[in-house]
A and B are shown apart, each in its own frame.
Chain A
Amino acid sequence: MTINAQQDEYVADFEFLENWEQRYEYIIDVGAKLPPMEETYKTPDNIIKGCQSTVWLHGELKDDRVYFAADSNTQIIKGVVAMFVFVFSGHTPKEILDADIYFVEKIGLQKFLSGNRSNGLVAMLKQIKLYALAFQAKTLQQ
């Protein structure tokens, strides 16, 4: 699935959710679908700063595509980081860097996460783009 196809899917799904309970349930469910992150990746270096809770994010380059693994000790934040993983994982560094991330705003992700966590959203996105940037530099060198 392309980055935008995954974004569109989230946007379309959210249009059907009627209330906050359903939206939170949806996000928590997405988090539950995230493949378990290997404990060896849960290093201090992989913790995203700017999040009140602990969020780990790790990226790997395989066959010129970036694959992300993530986890969090909170269910809601785990769901949010999972959405990013599902949107970005399996794409090339260039695709990730060029991506226009519109689903966050369209579904109002930052609105129903309290203020402090919006910084966390920005930090997660930034970390994903940084991984892509680093891997792009690496592929260009080869």
Chain B
Amino acid sequence: MDQRPFLRIFTTPAALCALGFTAAMVAVLQYSLRAYIPGSLDPGGFTLGNFADLLRPLYARVFLDTVSICALTAVATLLVGYPLAYALVLLENPVLKSALLVIVVTPLFLGEVVRTYSWIIVLGNNGFINSVLRGLGLIEQPVQFMFTTFGVVIALVHVTLPVMVIMLAAGLSHIDRDYQRAAESLGAGPIRTFLTITLPLSMPGVIAGVTTAFAWTFSAFATPQMIGGGRVNMVSNLVYQLGFSSFNFPFAATLCVAGLALTIAVMSILGLAARPFKNFGAH
């Protein structure tokens, strides 16, 4: 008798989705190899010209900017998220624990556009931060947060934080407390215990969090679009501009393919670089 009688039924929806995604990817791929005809929606004949155009300074720079924004966001989110995740694991009061969890995951429940508009109110020249700094007499001219990479990264950290905290908390909660107690009983202080026991053992969570944050940020669209104000662009913004503003769908498709290839390449490199740390948590 079949050990898994419902396997076929349960996997059918996933298989159909995979089929749909594959068909869409094939369509994007074939569009990326077609010429753009000005004033027409239909693409022209086969060409590799779109891929050659990727080497133009503007596009090459946007790809590099995207990678650096993703890296900055992942690192900044890790730095902000680690203490929160640690607190979440250590807290024993269920009310405090729930309150912290709610605060951490709230950004996931806000729409991307609403969340980004909130950041415009905070980061603008007449926004919250500049008003406070001016009120305290610390600045005369507003600090420029809007339309800068810094502003975009701040807003991206906000949205990436829940994912990072959840993954770190999962990693941290798997650490056997006996290791920490053993270190303390042998005379190690809290900082030494953290640096020599907790941090190394949480590396699988850190790697999972950083990798996910990186991939999560790579597809960011509304935040760089609105906070970046056309000055800070990521790959998704270029795809939108080329497809929806310029009607150049073949080149937009080329950027999609190149963006996907870049994501796979960066994730593979990250995976290889993180390999030595992966076994840190093994008991």
**Chain B associates with chain A:** no
